[in-house]
Amino acid sequence: MQGFRRRLPSLTSLVVLEAVARHLSFTKAAGELGVTQAAVSRQIHALEQELGFALFRRLHRRVELTERGRILAGVLSQSFSLIDQTIANVRAQSEEDELVIGATVAFTQLWLLPRISAFRRLHPSTKIRLITQDTPIDLERDMVDVAIRYGDGVWPDGRSVFLCEDELFPVCSPSYAAGCRLPETADELLDHTLLDYDSANPGWIGWKEWLAAFSAARPGRPVLRLSYYTDVIHAAVAGHGIALGWNCLVEDLLQQGRLRRVTDLHLRTRGAYFVVVPSRESLKPSAQAFVAWLGAHLEGKAAGPERRL
């Protein structure tokens, strides 16, 4: 069996063909390749002579591909792209791997940081960089490998992988519970200090929406409003009032006994947690491992709802 070198034209001429076909211009291809227009013309002419058919039709001040030229140029474009991506992936594996993760302040502080050491033990050679902010992270612009988001799963900068739904229920500290009669209905919650904050995420549920789902009829006393959801949870732990606990985010605090559920009322929303990955390329191995690890830890967290928005 003959090797490729004996059966294929020169690689240089094929690279030139791909560039000319992409630009449909000998001059622009020459500029990209850093050679003269005459050198490009000679390469294409020699390639046509070797192949035995024309690749381009030379028209007035422009060129266009022949049918055979179009077929060959298309295969070359796909093949060069695959080679380029493969080399980039292999090169990345030989370098120190850094996994860039984007998430909200609440998810990072309340869920991810308490567990990230478990992932690091499984993948000790992977460097991790966390980008934590509540404003949306653009996966393309910010060069993030994975982002954890709450919403409907549709975002223009990447493709989404479902993680889990969540449910909301009132929580307070044991000290707060010891100092008052805890409410049993949604209306009775309005007699207490309710801790809340303003979220930029349209899918995030606050007290107003949660109480409406349970048809609370009476006007409530003013809530204590804070800047971040993490502040709300810290205030609840300190005994300042009752907060809405997102099950995935307050699970550790409930198990530690620093928070407790106030009532059996709970609400499941239409939104869910997703891990979002860039659509620009295939995931590198460390990102694939992190997505699988997230799914294993979050799958099936929320139980059946009593109400749903």
Q: Is the pLDDT of residue 299 over 80?
A: no
- According to DSSP, the β-strands at 194-197 and 242-246 are parallel
Q: Around 81, how many Cα atoms within 13 Å sit in the side-chain half-sphere?
A: 12
Q: Look at the chain and report how many structural domains it folds into.
A: 2
pLDDT digits (tens, 9 = 90+) for 243-290: 999 999 999 999 999 999 999 999 988 788 999 998 766 788 899 999
63 and 135 share a domain? no
80 and 206 share a domain? no
121 and 45 share a domain? no
200 and 262 share a domain? yes
Distance (Å, rounded) from C-alpha 222 to C-alpha 228? Answer: 18
Distance (Å, rounded) from C-alpha 46 to C-alpha 89? Answer: 34
Range of 20's domain?
Answer: 4-94
pLDDT digits (tens, 9 = 90+) for 189-216: 988 999 998 776 767 788 888 888 888 8
CATH number at residue 81: 1.10.10.10
pLDDT at 157: 83
42 and 113 share a domain? no
Choosing from 94, 116, 136, the residue where a domain stops is: 94
Exposure class string for 122-148: b at 16+ Cβ within 10 A, else e: ebeebebeeebebebbbbeeeebbbbb
30 and 101 share a domain? no
CATH number at residue 234: 3.40.190.290
260 and 281 share a domain? yes
pLDDT digits (tens, 9 = 90+) for 128-166: 999 998 887 888 777 889 999 998 889 888 889 899 889
Mean pLDDT along residues 171-192: 90
Choosing from 41, 71, 94, the residue where a domain stops is: 94
120 and 44 share a domain? no
172 and 221 share a domain? yes
Please give the residue that has the higher pLDDT: either 93 or 117.
Answer: 117
